Amino acid sequence: MHISPSGRFSIEYWTSGVDSVSILDVSPPNGVPDYVDQVATDLDYSWATEVDGLGFDAPATAGLPYQVQLKSIGSFGLTELDSMAPGGTRILLRNN
């Protein structure tokens, strides 16, 4: 689990198995795979652009981070209903 720099996203990822991400960790070498760090940065950028900049509605998560999972899926990403997640939905993103 990794929290984005803004604290708005909680990113769940695996380092082994079919859903694993690349474990390359050089920039920065912080114990978090580089791909996960980049996803976190990109999610924060998207929020700043769409919610803060353009005024789109933010998901109602009661101040909890929005859940994101990196998995081996056929598409680049999707949002799915999840009654246990803050806001009632979560994002699934491709793991590579």
pLDDT tens, the chain, 96 aa long: 999 999 999 999 999 999 999 999 998 899 999 999 999 999 999 999 999 999 999 988 988 999 999 999 999 999 999 998 988 999 999 999
Cα angle 61, 53, 64 (rounded to 5 degrees) comes to 15
pLDDT of residue 30: 93
**pTM surpassing 0.95?**
no
The whole-number pLDDT of residue 36 equals 96
**Token pair in block for residue 42:** 């990109």
